[in-house]
Chain A
Amino acid sequence: MAEATVPVAVPTGSSSAARLLRAVARQRELSLIVVMLVLGAFVFTQAPQFLSASNLTQVTAHASIIAVAAVGEAIVILTRNVDLSVEATMGLVAFAVADILASHTVGAPVAILLGVLLGLVLGLLNGVLVAVLRVPAIIATLGTLSAYRGFTLLLAGGKQITLTQLPAGYTDWARGTVVFLPLFVVIALVVVTVAALVLRQTTIGRQVYALGSNPEAAEILGIRTRLITISTFAVCGLLAGVAGVMWGMEFGTINATAATGVTLQVIAAVVVGGVNINGGSGTVVGAGIGALFLAFIQNALILLKLSQFWLQAIYGLVILIAVVIDGALLRAVQRSRARGRRP
Chain B
Amino acid sequence: MSRARRFLGWEALLAVVLVALIAIGTTVSPVFLSGRNFTNLTAAVIEVSIMALPMALIIIAGEIDLSVESMAGLSCAIVGILWQAGIPIQVAIPIVLVIGAAGGLLNGVLVTSFGLPSLVVTLGTLALFRGLALVVLGSQGVAGFPDWFTSFGFGTVPGTPIPWPLLIFAGLALVLGTILHTMWPGRRLFVIGKNASAARYSGVGVARTKLVLFAFNGVIAALAGVILTARFASSRADIGQGLTLTVITIVLLGGVNIFGGRGTIPGVVLAAATLAVLGNVLRLTNVSAEIQSIAVGVLLIVSVVIPNLAHQVSAWMGRGPQAGRGSAATAGAGGTASS
Contacts and interface: CB of A to CB of B under 8 A. Distances in A.
Tell me the dominant secondary structure on chain A's binding face. helix
Interface string B270-312: 0000000000000000001111111011101100110011001
- Which bucket holds chain A's interface residue count? 35 or more
Contacts, number: 192
Contacts of B248: 139, 142
A331 B325 CA distance: 30
Given A139-B252, A215-B327, A307-B135, A313 B127 contact: yes
Contact of A313 (B134, B138, B242, B296): B134
Given A323-B121, A324-B114, A313 B326 contact: no
B298 A226 contact: no
Contact of A136 (B115, B258, B312): B258
Nearest to A226: B327
A277 B120 contact: yes
Tell me the dominant secondary structure on chain B's binding face. helix
A79 to B, nearest CB: 6
A227 to B, nearest CB: 9
Nearest to B311: A134
Given A1-B62, A82-B119, A323 B328 contact: no
B294 A154 contact: yes
B120 A315 contact: no
Contact of B124 (A1, A145, A323, A328): A323
A4 B120 CA distance: 12
B87 interface: no
B155 interface: no
Interface in A110-140: 129-131, 133-136, 138-140
Interface string B186-218: 000000010010000000000000000000000
A215 B131 contact: no
Given A143-B297, A145-B297, 17 more contacts: A139-B300, A139-B301, A142-B300, A143-B300, A144-B297, A146-B296, A153-B290, A215-B326, A215-B327, A219-B327, A271-B120, A313-B127, A315-B127, A316-B127, A316-B131, A319-B123, A319-B127
Interface of B: 62-64, 110, 114-121, 123-132, 134-135, 138-139, 193, 196, 242, 245, 248, 252, 258-260, 288-294, 296-298, 300-301, 304-305, 308-309, 312, 325-333
Interface of A: 1-5, 79-82, 129-131, 133-136, 138-140, 142-147, 149-151, 153-154, 211-212, 215-216, 218-219, 225-226, 228-229, 264, 267-268, 271, 277-279, 307, 309-317, 319-320, 323-324, 327-328, 331
